[in-house]
Amino acid sequence: MGTHGWPSQHRGGRVSALARQRHAALQRAALWLGSLYLVALALIALWPTPVDRIANRQIVRILIKLHDHGVPNWFSYALIEFSANIVLFLPVGMLGVILLGSARWWVAILIGFGASCLIELSQLVFLPSRYATFVDVLANTLGAAVGAALALVVLSTITARSSTSSQPTAGPS
């Protein structure tokens, strides 16, 4: 990747037209998806009551049945909630890397941490039925970090493909 997040190519670090087109299309898609994601995240994070309130009893029942059938007790509601928070923030890291460039991957993680702190503070101050926890900040930040890592893998794959497809093929000898 180049310094601005553009894929760099073998010949003098120049960017091929195909790589530029792919990156621009990816960034446009990321802007649209990011806008939709932010609306969904705001609804989930700032809903007046816990969003899992309706499914809580069903999840607990399923967990009890799973535990009765040998699933270890560490597979708990807390683990499911922690994992859901990780998944919820994967897009923060992924979209952050795509929009900011791979050189600034760490900014995507900081944005995830900052957004999570802001959400938890908002829940603490404005939403008495919600629970603000440090564990949520940890899970959300971890989700942003995993998302950033996934985006780096995706971008390097796209770069590798555009690099090999832009190289001339050998003709018959």
In a domain, 150, yes or no: yes
Domain membership flag for residue 60:
no
For residue 97, is it within any domain? yes
Tell whether 34 is covered by a domain: yes
Q: Per residue in 99-143, pLDDT tens?
A: 999 999 999 999 999 999 999 999 999 999 999 999 999 999 999
- Residue 66 lies inside a defined structural domain of this protein: no
Q: Cβ atoms within 10 A of the Cβ of 87, count?
A: 12
Q: How many domains does the chain have?
A: 1
Query: pTM, whole model, 2 decimals?
Result: 0.81
Fill in the DSSP letter of residue 104.
G
pLDDT tens digits along 18-40: 778 877 888 999 999 999 999 99
70, part of any domain: no
> What does the pLDDT look like over 40-52, one tens digit per residue?
999 999 999 988 8
In a domain, 160, yes or no: yes
- 56 located within any domain: no
